[in-house]
Amino acid sequence: MMPPSKIAPLRDDLRHKPLPGTAAFIQDQADQDCRDLAAISGLLRRTSAGITPILQRLTFRTLPLAALESCTLLDALAEEIDRDDVTTVQDHAEALCAAR
């Protein structure tokens, strides 16, 4: 019996990844981009949620302050990323796969 190897196994075994340029590879890349876009939109929403209580403490909220629009803009941007950017990535990946 061989002693156990002291070399840690690869966490990201390349033998199980699709070959670059294949439809499977393109789909994997699109899936990763969509996960990253979801992370970005989630971060924007969490930032908005963190800003909201600070805005509520402002004494001069009746003034035309750009900060007062920040949460609305962050939430709208997050929604647009979820709705439009994810669809754009998926559509582009499908078009690339169809062209193969």
pLDDT digits (tens, 9 = 90+) for 80-97: 999 999 999 999 999 988
Parent domain of 39: 20-98
Asked if the structure places residue 68 within a domain, the reply is yes
Asked if the structure places residue 10 within a domain, the reply is no
Predicted confidence (pLDDT) at residue 17 exceeds the cutoff of 60: yes
Q: pLDDT tens across 21-69, in order?
A: 788 899 999 999 999 999 999 999 999 999 999 999 999 999 999 999 9
CA 44 to chain centroid: 10
Whole-model pTM: value is 0.77
Beta strand spans in the chain (E)? none
For the chain, the maximum distance between any two Cα atoms, rounded to a whole number of angstroms, is: 78
DSSP category for residue 62: T
Q: What is the CA radius of gyration of the chain?
A: 22
Q: Domain total for the chain?
A: 1
